[in-house]
Amino acid sequence: MPGVRPVHEGLFTPEHLIGGRCDACRRHHFPAATTCPYCGSTAVTEVALSDTGTLWAWTAVTAPPPGYRGEVPFGFGVVELPEGLRVITRLGESDLSRLSFGQAMKLDIAPLHEEDDGTAVVTYSFVPSECA
Ligand SMILES: [Zn+2]
């Protein structure tokens, strides 16, 4: 039976993104790293990040990047989470007229493409909250 697999291990669960919180400077980052990207401390704890945020920047990708097997166009942008970090992410909305600065967004684990054996490859994305 075909299954489901994440596009990359360690980035997210079905409920949230997996980030890192630095025990020295207290800042969050994504993806989780063993060394804090801000202060260099190795006292980093893996944490569940908020599944909501606000839209900070966005665009629509109309030409498939090399190796990309999903559909175009797709939205792509930056969502700011309550923890104070900005996450570069796929967006579930590619109609730019429906996106605006500061818009409430919600995490959505979405299908990216299907492999030859039928396995669904999923990735993280954010969609406008009213659509989630
Ligand atoms: Zn730090």
**Average pLDDT rounded to a whole number, residues 91-98:** 95
| Statement: residue 132 has pLDDT above 60 | no
* Distance between Cα 120 and ligand 1 center (Å): 36
By DSSP bridging, strand 52-61 and strand 74-80 are antiparallel
pTM above 0.95, yes or no: no
Instruction: Calculate the alpha carbon distances from 27 to 23, 96, 106, 119 in Å.
Output: 8, 31, 21, 36
Residue pLDDT, tens place only, 45-88: 999 999 999 999 999 999 999 988 888 999 999 999 999 999 99
* Distance between Cα 28 and ligand 1 center (Å): 8
* Distance between Cα 93 and ligand 1 center (Å): 33
Three-state DSSP at 97 gives helix
* Cα 128 from chain centroid (whole Å): 13
- Beta bridge mates, 52: 106
* Distance between Cα 37 and ligand 1 center (Å): 7
* Distance between Cα 26 and ligand 1 center (Å): 6
What number of other Cβ atoms are within 10 A of residue 42's Cβ?
Answer: 11
**How far is Cα 27 from Cα 60, in angstroms, rounded to an integer?**
30
Closest by CA position to 94, among listed 64, 119, 52: 64
Q: Write down the pLDDT at residue 36.
A: 98
* Distance between Cα 17 and ligand 1 center (Å): 19
Asked if 44 and 54 touch (Cβ cutoff 8 Å), the reply is no
Three-state DSSP at 129 gives helix
